Amino acid sequence: MKNVSFERADGVLFASVTGRIDGSNSHDFAAAVANSIEDGDTALIMDMKDLTYISSAGLRAVLVTEKNLRRRGSGFVICSLSGQIKEIFRVSGFDKVIRIGRNREDAAAAL
């Protein structure tokens, strides 16, 4: 999927998200993330610094990811939210369900 790229360091999978996550691509986004998680990964940090828009379908994809990781016993933190995206997470209540870090370092410390 073109709007998410992955890198791995010390058992942590980093996903960098760009552009939009909406009804047209949320299923592909969730599948790309799920297919990138390997058995040795202890956590996923999702960097949303370059995310410009997220719809309710996108939020649902993020929540499904969080639930799958929790079932595996793996950590999950999102980070680097722009003001607009942070407000969407706040209004939807997702900031109460999903850990949010200011940046990658903060997210890694939250694990």
Name the phi and psi angles at 3, rounded to 5: -105, 20
User: Do the bridges between strand 12-21 and strand 4-9 make them parallel or antiparallel, or are there none, so unpaired?
Assistant: antiparallel
**Torsion angle, CA of 68/71/76/81, rounded to 10 degrees?**
40
Helix axes 56-72, 83-92, angle to 10 degrees: 70
This prediction has a pTM of: 0.94
11-28 pLDDT, tens digit each: 999 999 999 999 999 999
50-103 pLDDT per residue, tens: 999 999 999 999 999 999 999 999 999 999 999 999 999 999 999 999 999 999
